Copies of this chain bind each other. A is one copy, B any other.
Amino acid sequence: METVSTNTAHGGVQGVYRHASKETGTEMTFSVFVPPHADGAKLPVVWYLSGLTCTHANVTEKGEYRRICAELGLIFVAPDTSPRGEGVPDDAEGAYDFGLGAGFYVDATQAPFAKNYRMWSYVTEELPALVAAEFPAVMARQSILGHSMGGHGALTIGLTHPDRYKAVSAFAPIVAPGQVPWGHKALPLYLGDDRAAWRKHDAVALIEDGARVKDLLVDQGEADNFLAEQLKPELLEKACADAGIALTLRRQPGYDHSYYFISSFMEDHLRWHAERLG
């Protein structure tokens, strides 16, 4: 692991790091905030998965999480959203919603994407092992949240590993990629046409198929341009109601899809996570 940069912030250290990923076959960059802590102390880890077009940098610069993580004693990790670099296949037209910056947190099975696009295994296995080795982290106390495509990632990963992630929340998540245009484009290209494979990467389908967590927190801006066509929180609301999952869905008047929205409610999410991380 190579250190790209470290900056003192809110009494802790905001770092950016790079490593050669076996999963993606590329160099991957990620950020970690380690709050102030006693020598030798180990801290819980909050995973933040970013949305389409983002790298680790967006939330690192605009997320306003450091003050609260410093107060609550949380390590905050922000991975990239896809493999990048020489030879990594991208969207045929370079569109923003597939390929680079749009890994959708799946292990692709389809050529030419299967070789590099292994963001599921990267985020759930390889990067946690690296974080456990390099930072003062208690891996028995992890939680996960994300935004938009990263909200999709947080929900699907949290629902698949309910014992591993003690809290799961999202900002404006894609709750049912199998039912919306973003997913209709990405899922066949990454996973093929078999809809059974899609269902493992669709929060609503996972819940319909029996996945359970105790509770979920979702914030959704009512002025979000993607709300009606791509996000459809009502589908998650119905699935959770049917399954007995305690979903707190907060529709926030006036808020859009941007980091102005995320940073406004980051504190609420991190406090909710801290309660569940114990």
Contact = CB atoms under 8 A, between A and B. Distances in A.
Contacts of A61: 61-62, 259
Nearest to A11: B264
Nearest to A263: B9
* Size bracket of the A interface: 20 to 34
A223 B9 contact: no
How often does this chain occur in the complex, in copies? 2
B263 A66 contact: yes
Interface string A252-268: 10111011110110010
A260 B256 CA distance: 25
Interface in A22-77: 61-62, 64, 66-67
Contact of A260 (B8, B255, B258, B260): B8
14 contacts: A7-B260, A8-B221, A8-B256, A8-B260, A8-B261, A9-B261, A9-B263, A10-B264, A11-B264, A61-B62, A61-B259, A64-B67, A64-B263, A67-B267
A108 to B, nearest CB: 32
Given A8-B255, A62-B62, A255-B8, A14 B67 contact: no
Interface of A: 7-11, 14, 61-62, 64, 66-67, 221, 223, 252, 254-256, 258-261, 263-264, 267
A166 to B, nearest CB: 26
A7 B11 CA distance: 29
B7 A256 contact: yes
